[in-house]
Amino acid sequence: MRVAVVTLFPELFTPFLATSFVRRAIEGGQLSVTLEDLRPHGLGKHLSVDDTPYGGGAGMVMRVDCLVAAIEAAEAALGARAHRVLLTPVGERLVQHHLQALAARDPVLLIAGRYEGFDERVASFVDQELSLGDFVLTGGEVAAMALLEGTARLLPGVLGNADSPREESFSHEHGGLLEYPQYTRPAEFRGLGVPEILKSGDHAKIAAWRHERALERTRARRPDLLAGTGES
């Protein structure tokens, strides 16, 4: 999977790309990431990529001409038209099925903004707008990293156990539920023990217990995930 990131701060990605499963995916050849510095596409003496908003208002708005120039330069380096993803608070909230869909695409282009936001015309040059949630960050770099990590771990061969993503929260195989509680050693810690059924060796009963705990946790914390599933 080839990914390009348009950003004003490519240096933020250097340690991230050299860490954990993202590094493993890059070293294993399942993932390649290129960074397109937005600043050289700026205008004037200071290479400005933003300007004051028409109609007045607080903050600065990222220019459409500078962003499109960076997008096209990134795609020229990729050698192909990419699936373009704008990372913005006004986008659709990122959920697991978005990551699964992106993991099947190649190439993908992530656009991380800054300042007050994007000129609305930028939306005409992208395929998808995504947000981490109902809050605002200073820029889109953290969102780009979250999307990169969430996607990279779904690529074949990146995780040590191919079954791991199937048992996680939100996975289709897990019914979209939150994951069941997990335990490991020690068996006792400060009066807190491990449920006996998990030490029983009865795999059928363990599976049933885990499903019930997943349902219980989802009902309590994310009842919205049960809508339309037939579970209650």
Give the pairing of strands 61-62 and 50-51: antiparallel
Q: For the ranges 30-39, 94-103, 153-162, 187-196, which has the lowest average pLDDT? A: 153-162
Q: 120 — phi, psi (to 5°)?
A: -55, -25
- Cβ(55)–Cβ(189) below 8 Å: no
> What does R_g of the chain's alpha carbons equal in angstroms?
22
Which has the higher per-residue pLDDT, 100 or 166?
100
- pLDDT per residue as tens digits for the range 53-79: 999 998 999 999 999 999 999 999 999
- Identical fold for domains 2-152 and 164-226, yes or no, is no
- Block residue for tokens 């490519």: 10
CATH domain 2-152 topology: Alpha/beta knot (3.40.1280)
Distance, in Å, from the CA atom of 135 to the CA atom of 27, rounded to the nearest integer, reads: 34
- Beta-bridged to residue 232, according to DSSP, are none
Q: What is the DSSP letter of 176?
A: T
Distance, in Å, from the CA atom of 157 to the CA atom of 148, rounded to the nearest integer, reads: 16
> What predicted TM-score, i.e. pTM, was given to this entire model?
0.90
Distance, in Å, from the CA atom of 171 to the CA atom of 62, rounded to the nearest integer, reads: 36
What is residue 230's predicted lDDT score, i.e. its pLDDT? 64
Which CATH code of 1.10.1270.20, 3.40.50.1100, 1.10.3720.10, 1.25.40.80 fits the domain covering 164-226?
Answer: 1.10.1270.20
Q: Reply yes or no on whether the pLDDT at 101 is more than 90.
A: yes
DSSP run (H or E) holding 151 = helix 141-152
136 Cβ neighbours under 8 A, 6+ residues apart: 89
- pLDDT per residue as tens digits for the range 138-193: 999 999 999 999 999 999 999 977 767 767 788 877 789 999 999 999 999 999 99
What is residue 161's predicted lDDT score, i.e. its pLDDT? 74
Mean pLDDT of 16-32: 97
Q: What is the DSSP letter of 48?
A: B
Mean pLDDT of 197-207: 97
Domain ranges of the chain: 2-152, 164-226
What is residue 218's predicted lDDT score, i.e. its pLDDT? 96
